[in-house]
Copies of this chain bind each other. A is one copy, B any other.
Amino acid sequence: MPVELDPLLFGEIDPPQRLLMGPGPVNAHPRVLRAMSADLLGQFDPEMTGYMEQVMALYRPIFGTQNRWTMLVDGTARAGIEAALVSLVAPGETVLIVNFGRFGLLLTEILTRIGARIETVEAPWGEVVPLAAIEEAIARTSPRLVATIHGDTSTTMAQPLEGFGALCRAAGALSYVDATATIGGMELAADRWDVDVVTGGLQKCLGGPSGSAPITISDAAAEHIFARRHTEAGIRMKGLEDGQGPRIASNYFDLAMIMDYWSEKRLNHHTEATSMLYAARECARVALGEGLAARYDRHTRSGRAMAAGLRAMGLTVFGDDAHRMTNVTGVHIPDSVDGEAVRAMLRVSFEIEIGTAFGPLQGRIWRLGAMGYNAMKHKVLITLGALEASLRAHGFVLPLGQAVPAAIEAWDSAGVGETA
């Protein structure tokens, strides 16, 4: 039944102070929340376009790129994915999807609606796809685009991408990487990987709210997209010729128009989501202020500490250990406990959220994240202590008091990351 309108209009916004240790969204950095309280600006005010230019500059190092076209799509991370795919791919074109989890399936889903001819190269959930298999699949399928996921939170696996873009380029294919779950937490190297388009979101390792999707586009991909430019009749201007390529199937996600909006042409498209742009800007300032190497190291330590603590409880960590994401850890739910009851106790007694799972892993694993503002030693330790108590309360027999010291040792061990 629909909720009835409360005469008191439901009261002031007052969410519980909950520690979000799932696969995202996670708690935002307080600086990011405060940045969103800044007053708004007209979308073509010089200060506003100045902030847009700053956002472009701030996200280049985060993506590991010099790409001019580095900006935001106004929507959640999924909006960035669809904008990339609908702008790159025309109906009937072949796309090779490197699929190892739910978000690979999402690429398939979006591309099916675009009308692409879809080929896949797959790994079982919990593994990644070897580069040699990708190379073989490219040779077999001659794709226009190769699309993959960097870190797929559904399986906690991180696909290695060194050499990926070169394989695509050698075969004349463009490349796309969804980095929603890794941006700001694991190194992105768009230029070194030689990939064409990478998209992300704020709500995981960047420590911001969902609702803005950073994107970077290589010059080659931008040229491909501009060849499909069809400017709206209401705002055509001199010097903006329509392209000869097939019209992009979405207006909102037309990256040619979005690039024209973010260029000095300032062609009107959507009305930029100003508060979310402020949030994206502050996320990047926090990340670059910390230093990316230090930030990635912090995530690495968090992931290792989490895994060490879980193992010290006698639990089994999920997936190929060599390719696990640093910022989210899957763990098998013991047969003897009701996973949802344990999760509920964590939420109700400890105000801590950990994640459930999708598809074939639903009911089989939990997913524990330590992302962005939550990738901190004390938050990992608190979560492990609370999980131990909750498991014990549900009758699971485990060695008491081992998880936290094991996690501390893993966190403190030298040589973990680049700056350790």
Interface contact A106-B251, CB-CB below 8 Å: yes
CB-CB < 8 A to A35: which residues of B?
A: 13
Max chain B C-beta neighbours (<10 A), residue from A9, A68, A249: A9
User: Roughly how many angstroms separate A27 CA and B6 CA in the complex, as a whole number?
Assistant: 27
A252 within 8 A of B: yes
Q: Which of B42, B57, B105, B285 contacts A22 (CB 8 A)?
A: B42
Q: Of the listed stretches A70-78, A170-178, A320-328, A400-408, name the one at the interface; the rest are far from the partner chain.
A: A70-78
- Residues 289-316 of A contacting B (Cβ, < 8 Å): 289
Encode contact with B along A241-256: 1 for CB under 8 Å, 0 otherwise. 0000001111111000
A382 within 8 A of B: no
CB-CB < 8 A to A249: which residues of B?
A: 113-114, 249
**Also in contact, A38 and B9, with CB within 8 A (given A3-B57, A113-B251, A271-B210):** no
A41 within 8 A of B: yes
Q: Of the listed stretches A128-136, A214-222, A274-282, name the one at the interface; the rest are far from the partner chain.
A: A274-282
A341 within 8 A of B: no
User: Roughly how many angstroms separate A6 CA and B114 CA in the complex, as a whole number?
Assistant: 40
A396 within 8 A of B: no
User: Roughly how many angstroms separate A273 CA and B247 CA in the complex, as a whole number?
Assistant: 29
Interface contact A358-B251, CB-CB below 8 Å: no
* Chain B residue with Cβ nearest A111: B251
Assembly stoichiometry (copies): 2
CB-CB < 8 A to A234: which residues of B?
A: 102-103, 105-106, 109, 154, 358-359
Encode contact with B along A346-374: 1 for CB under 8 Å, 0 otherwise. 01000001000011000000000000000
A391 within 8 A of B: no
Interface contact B289-A9, CB-CB below 8 Å: yes
Interface contact A40-B20, CB-CB below 8 Å: yes
- Residues 224-268 of A contacting B (Cβ, < 8 Å): 232-235, 247-253, 268
Give the 9 A-B residue pairs with the shortest CB-CB distance, closest first: A211-B273, A209-B275, A102-B234, A105-B234, A3-B53, A75-B75, A36-B36, A76-B270, A210-B271
10 A-B pairs in the complex with CB atoms less than 8 angstroms apart? A3-B56, A5-B57, A15-B40, A16-B47, A42-B353, A45-B347, A78-B269, A113-B248, A210-B271, A234-B359
